[in-house]
C-alpha cells in the first residue's frame, strides 16, 4: 500500500506463496486495508454532525472539497484540526479519523487533496494511481486553502492544527513551512521539507517515525538539525521495530 512495489510486482511476488494467479490475487486482497474493520466511529453517530464541504483552492485549481466533522451539540468555539490523507485520497479510514477528532471536541476537516484532479475514486488502486498523476503543488495548495476555510468557520477558535499520515505527513511538514497560521502539526512518517525552509515554521511539531522506515528516516538528521538551529518547538518519537505506516 505504501511501498515502492506496484500491484503487478506484488502479484508476482505473492504467486511464490500461493497457487496460481487466483491465489495470488486472493492473498493480495487479504493483505489490503479493511476500512470497515478499522472504523471506530460510525458515519451516522448521533453525537456528530458530519458533512461534505467545498472551499476555494488558489492558483486556478477551482474548488477543493473535504469532509467536515463537528460535535452535534458543540458548546462555544472549537479548536480546529486538519487531517491530511495518505497516497490514496480521502477514503473511509481518513473520514473516520476526522470523526474521532470531532468526538474529542475538535472541528475536524479532512480535505480531499485529489479533488483538484476530480476527486478520490472509490477504488483504492485507482485512487493511488490518480495520486501519482496529480500535481503535488496543486494538492498542497488545496491543503493550505483549508486553513483559512477552517479559521473562518463560525464555531472556530481560530487556532488550527494538522495531523497527517504518509504522504499527508509530508503535507503537514510542508504546510508548516508555508503557513504562519498553522499552530501545531503532527506528522506520521512524513517526508521532511528542505532545511532552507525550516526557519519559516511557526507551528509546534510532533514528528512520529517507524524505526525500520529507512527511506523516510534518512531525512531525520538534516530536519532535526535545521529545527534545532532555527530554535523551533518540536518533539520526535521513533518507534522501534515497526515500519512505515
Q: 114, 104, 112: which is closest to 146 by C-alpha?
A: 112
Whole-prediction pTM: 0.89
Helix axes 7-14, 20-31, angle to 10 degrees: 120
pLDDT in tens, 93-124: 999 999 999 999 999 999 999 999 999 999 88
Catalytic residue positions, numbered: 166, 213, 244
Sheet holding 234-239, edge to edge: 51-56, 63-69, 107-112, 78-84, 156-165, 182-188, 204-210, 234-239
pLDDT in tens, 31-89: 667 777 789 999 999 999 999 999 998 777 778 999 999 999 888 899 999 999 999 99
Amino acid at each position: 500500500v505504501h511501498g515502492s512495489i506496484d500491484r503487478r510486482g506484488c502479484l508476482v511476488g505473492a504467486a511464490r506463496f500461493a497457487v496460481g494467479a487466483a491465489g495470488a490475487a486472493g492473498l493480495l486482497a487479504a493483505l489490503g486495508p479493511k476500512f470497515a474493520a478499522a472504523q471506530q466511529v460510525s458515519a451516522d453517530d448521533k453525537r456528530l454532525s458530519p458533512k461534505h464541504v467545498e472551499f476555494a483552492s488558489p492558483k486556478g485549481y477551482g474548488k477543493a472539497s473535504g469532509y467536515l466533522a463537528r460535535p452535534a451539540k458543540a458548546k462555544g468555539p472549537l479548536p480546529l484540526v486538519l487531517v491530511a490523507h495518505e497516497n490514496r485520497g480521502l477514503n473511509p479510514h481518513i473520514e473516520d479519523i476526522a470523526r474521532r477528532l470531532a468526538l474529542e471536541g475538535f472541528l475536524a476537516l479532512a480535505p480531499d487533496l485529489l479533488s483538484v484532479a476530480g476527486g478520490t475514486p472509490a477504488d483504492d488502486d485507482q485512487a493511488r494511481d490518480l495520486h501519482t498523476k496529480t500535481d503535488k503543488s496543486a494538492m498542497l495548495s488545496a491543503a493550505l486553502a483549508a486553513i483559512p476555510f477552517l479559521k473562518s468557520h463560525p464555531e472556530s477558535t481560530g487556532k488550527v492544527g494538522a495531523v497527517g499520515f504518509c504522504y499527508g505527513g509530508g503535507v503537514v511538514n510542508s504546510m508548516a513551512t508555508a503557513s504562519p497560521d498553522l499552530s501545531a502539526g503532527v506528522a506520521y512518517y512524513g517526508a521532511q521539507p528542505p532545511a532552507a525552509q525550516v526557519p519559516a515554521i511557526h507551528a509546534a511539531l510532533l514528528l512520529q517515525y517507524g524505526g525500520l522506515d529507512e527511506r523516510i528516516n534518512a531525512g531525520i538528521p538534516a530536519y532535526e538539525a535545521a529545527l534545532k538551529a532555527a530554535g523551533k518547538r518540536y518533539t520526535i518519537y521513533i518507534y522501534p521495530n515497526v515500519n512505515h505506516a
